[in-house]
Amino acid sequence: MKLGSFAVPVCLLLFCWLTVGAGASVDNGIVNLYGLPLAWYAPSLATSGGYEIAIGPMLVDLAIYGLVACGLVWVVGRWLSLVGKARRISAWGLWIAAVVSVVFSFVVFSGDAHATWWRLNSGVPDNASRSYFVSVGIQPRPLLDRTK
């Protein structure tokens, strides 16, 4: 099994659809930061519907997702053996899903985004208390609304 034909689309799918969020308590409110292992996405303090994207941490996270995807594909490839047509159909299906997810992500994130190179301007101090949660979706949101 070719590692790249499966690992790259799995990496892109994981990156687009699965992340971890951290809810940080700031001034009696909660600010959510997203990214695994580094926070690269946060709601913007400048505009109500906007958000910030930190390019450096996003690229680091993408590289880590790539390593995880390579490991997953290697383990699954040793466990499940696809041959010929089934392998090609599976690879094409993963690639189509990955490309659609990346295009959809680009459309979602091209709205009111404020890009920074490394640090998010979220206003969250380093010593703020945080709670962590898993977020699934193209534009990460907390699974539960903890502000009510």
| Structural domain contains residue 76 | yes
77: its two tokens:
């490839």
Alpha helices (runs of H) in the chain, residue ranges in sequence order: 3-17, 55-79, 84-109
Residue 148 within a domain: no
Q: What is the pLDDT of residue 141?
A: 61
What pLDDT is attached to residue 56?
Answer: 93
* Contact assessment for residue 38 and residue 120, using Cβ atoms and an 8 Å cutoff: no
Q: Which domain holds residue 92?
A: 3-136
pLDDT at 112 over 80: no
Residue 140's pLDDT band (cuts 50, 70, 90): low
Given the DSSP bridges, would you call strands 130-136 and 29-34 parallel, antiparallel or unpaired? unpaired
pLDDT digits (tens, 9 = 90+) for 64-108: 999 999 998 888 877 777 667 777 888 889 999 999 999 988 887
Whether 143 is covered by a domain: the verdict is no
Cβ contacts of 52 within 8 Å, gap of 6 or more: 41, 42, 43, 44, 113, 114, 115, 116, 120, 121, 122
Q: Average pLDDT in the 10-35 region? A: 81
The answer to whether 141 and 20 have CB atoms below 8 angstroms apart is no
Cis peptide before 37 (omega within 30 of 0): yes
Within-domain flag for 26: yes
In angstroms, the CA 91 to CA 129 distance is 43
pTM, two decimal places: 0.77
Neighbours of 51 (CB within 10 A): 21
pLDDT score of 83: 65
Note whether residue 144 is domain-resident: no
pLDDT above 90: residue 59: yes
Total domains in the fold of the chain: 1
- Please check whether residue 66 is in contact with residue 57, taking contact to mean a CB–CB distance below 8 angstroms: no
